């Protein structure tokens, strides 16, 4: 049975995408643009100039009250207490065994107000999980319907947006944010992103999303093009940014995902600290590693990997990287086989492709 488009949610920018001729696909319960002019052209525009993305499907959960910091500290692995006001951090929402409920961005609006940006497919699950751990004087609200989100990413992203505001955008440091006026509209401008490039993610009222989108495109002219989920996926993979549901989920721990840097052991107790510390002391059995294909061919999600005749893992993400011009991917390998230069083979429809573990991120922008 084929699901009709009416069964999927639509972002406030849906009409803009359709009018622009975007190819729409179902994603995480939403109808979203996968591409406009083509994945490769959109990917390259973000790497060399600028692209604009609709990420309004992402969820927003706000935690407020005198005990807000205690709750966020308890449920996430990073140290939210160390965030200054108007600073953000990447973190993990975790189960007691150290596996992912979700990965998320934590923004600190004030001493007792935190704003969590979570994955679209996990909003309801995350909200219920956070509520289950509430204690003390704290309020948790799912405010996802109150925000649209537009990402402007690429080397020219800031110069384009600068034409629309009196705020000096360069004064907002990476992973910091500010309330600004964008051509008369109050928005939250966060210097964050999921592409490996510089730029901003703009949280705005759904009512003004279309006008802001069109105005950004108008101001950017031929320096910016709309980009869809296809380019967003290849861009984030080049930058080794993990995707929930592919690279991480409730079966993978934060340490296995090579994300120990978002675990702050010295912040005090938190959910999963004991399980993760035990894993740190004993070592992980497997680790997420980056690989590139030696020769021709592309490995994709679900393809099995072998060393000799022993199955060693399954590709979690894989693609041809448009900017790097090579086939790359991520895979969980046994810890003893996850070192750089380890070679293995990937079965792609009965053909064995040679692959090699390489340093990550695959792509790092010049600063």
Q: 223-269, pLDDT tens digit by residue? A: 999 999 999 999 999 999 999 999 999 999 999 999 999 999 999 99
Paired residues of 310 in beta bridges: 307
DSSP letter string, 191-218: ---SSSS-EEEEEE-GGGHHHHHHHHHH
Which residue ranges in the chain fall short of pLDDT 50?
1-4
Question: In the chain, what are the domains?
Answer: 5-56+147-238 (3.30.1360.120), 59-145 (3.30.70.1400), 285-358 (2.40.30.110)
What pLDDT does residue 366 have?
87
What is the C-alpha separation between 240 and 231, in angstroms, rounded? 14
**Total Cβ atoms within 10 A of residue 184:** 11
Q: What share of the chain is helix, strand, coil (3-state, %, to 5)?
A: 30, 35, 35
Which residues make beta-bridge pairs with 329?
A: 291, 318
Burial of 7 (0-12, 13-18, 19+ CB in 10 A): exposed
The reported pLDDT for the residue numbered 7 is 86
- In this prediction, residue 1 carries a pLDDT of 30
What's the rounded Cα separation, in Å, for the pair 92 and 105?
8
Model pTM? 0.96
Tell me 84's DSSP state. Answer: P
Phi then psi for 223, rounded to 5 degrees? Answer: -85, -10
């Amino acid at each position: 049975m084929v699901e009709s488009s009416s069964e999927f949610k639509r972002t406030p920018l849906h009409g803009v995408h359709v009018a622009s001729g975007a190819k729409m696909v179902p994603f995480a319960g939403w109808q979203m643009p996968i591409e406009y002019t083509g994945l490769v052209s959109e990917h390259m525009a973000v790497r060399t100039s600028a692209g604009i993305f609709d990420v309004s499907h992402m969820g927003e959960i706000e935690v407020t009250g005198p005990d807000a910091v205690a709750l966020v500290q308890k449920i996430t692995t990073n140290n939210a207490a160390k965030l200054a006001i108007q600073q953000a951090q990447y973190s993990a929402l975790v189960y007691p065994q150290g596996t992912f409920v979700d990965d998320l961005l934590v923004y600190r609006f004030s001493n007792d107000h935190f704003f969590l940006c979570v994955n679209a497919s996990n909003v309801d699950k995350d909200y219920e999980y956070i509520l289950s751990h509430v204690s003390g004087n704290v309020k948790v609200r799912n405010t996802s319907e109150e925000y649209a989100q537009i990402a402007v990413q690429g080397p020219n992203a800031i110069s384009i947006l600068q034409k629309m505001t009196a705020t000096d955008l360069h004064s907002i440091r990476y992973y910091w944010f500010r309330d600004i006026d964008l051509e008369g509209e109050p928005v939250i401008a966060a210097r964050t992103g999921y592409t490996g490039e510089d730029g901003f993610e703009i949280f705005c009222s759904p009512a003004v999303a279309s006008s802001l989108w069109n105005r950004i495109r108008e101001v950017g002219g031929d320096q910016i093009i709309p980009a869809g989920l296809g380019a967003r996926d290849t861009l984030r993979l080049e930058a080794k940014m993990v995707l929930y549901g592919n690279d991480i989920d409730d079966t993978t721990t934060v340490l296995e995902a090579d994300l120990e840097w978002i675990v702050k052991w010295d912040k005090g107790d938190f959910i999963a600290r004991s399980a993760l510390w035990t894993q740190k002391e004993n070592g992980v059995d497997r680790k997420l590693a980056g690989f590139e294909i030696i020769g021709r061919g592309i490995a994709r999600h679900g393809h099995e990997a072998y060393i000799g005749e022993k199955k060693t893992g399954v590709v979690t993400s894989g693609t041809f990287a448009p900017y790097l011009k090579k086939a790359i991917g991520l895979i969980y390998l046994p810890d003893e086989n996850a070192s750089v230069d380890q070679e293995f083979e990937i079965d792609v429809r009965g053909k064995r492709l040679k692959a090699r573990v390489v340093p990550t991120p695959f792509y790092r922008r010049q600063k």
